[in-house]
């Protein structure tokens, strides 16, 4: 029987975090006009005078919901990739399901909205143009996520893991 592998769960969960950060940056491109207005004029000013800036209720809804929706899409994409990797490498599919459930649970509590990680560890933080900043940061986090999922070294570590959650040692 295939076993639960805590190392796969941890690594795929970390990859999920990077995919979520990436998808949130890519989703921000859709709302770039609102981001530019708030960065130039301040959030409070734009919200109070939304009609003067040409912002509709739909724009505000898109601005607020895009991060949540992009997080869900990222979780599903990583889940599918994780399932495919698990089937190919003959790992337990339960590991991918655990990552999926954990990711959905933590996204509900905005665990992935960690402002400091996205702000200070993204290379786009140093770029003034918002479009290029979002593209750079999104690509950076997506690349890290793919490296974690497809790294031969990390996959060998998962394959060679001697201890797992449900294996009881004799020693």
Mean pLDDT along residues 140-166: 85
Residues 6+ apart with CB under 8 A from 169: 163
Which pLDDT value is given to residue 111? Answer: 67
Q: Mean pLDDT in the chain?
A: 85
Mean pLDDT along residues 70-93: 94
Distance (Å, whole) CA 8 – CA 89: 12
| pTM for the whole structure | 0.84
Which pLDDT value is given to residue 11? Answer: 95
Confidence band, pLDDT 50/70/90 cuts, at residue 115: low
Mean pLDDT along residues 17-30: 91
pLDDT at 7 over 70: yes
Confidence band, pLDDT 50/70/90 cuts, at residue 150: very high
Mean pLDDT along residues 85-98: 92
pLDDT at 120 over 90: no
Q: Any idea which of 67-71, 90-94, 159-163 has the lowest mean pLDDT?
A: 159-163
Residues 6+ apart with CB under 8 A from 109: none
Quote the percentage of the chain above a pLDDT of 90. 40
By C-alpha distance, which of 143, 142, 124, 123 is closest to 133? 124
């Amino acid at each position: 029987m295939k076993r639960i592998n805590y190392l796969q769960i941890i690594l795929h969960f970390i990859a999920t975090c990077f995919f979520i950060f990436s998808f949130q940056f890519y989703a921000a491109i859709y709302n770039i006009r609102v981001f530019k207005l708030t960065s130039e004029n301040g959030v409070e000013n734009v919200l109070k005078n939304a009609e003067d800036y040409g912002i509709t209720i739909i724009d505000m809804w898109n601005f607020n919901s895009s991060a949540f929706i992009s997080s869900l899409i990222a979780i599903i994409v990583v889940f599918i990739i994780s399932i495919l990797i698990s089937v190919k490498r003959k790992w337990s599919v339960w590991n991918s399901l655990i990552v999926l459930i954990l990711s959905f649970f933590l996204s509900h509590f905005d665990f992935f909205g960690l402002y400091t990680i996205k702000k200070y560890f993204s290379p786009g933080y140093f770029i003034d143009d918002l479009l290029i900043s979002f593209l750079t940061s999104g690509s950076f986090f997506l690349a890290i996520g793919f490296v974690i999922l497809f790294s031969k070294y990390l996959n060998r570590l998962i394959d060679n893991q001697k201890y797992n959650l449900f294996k009881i040692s004799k020693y």
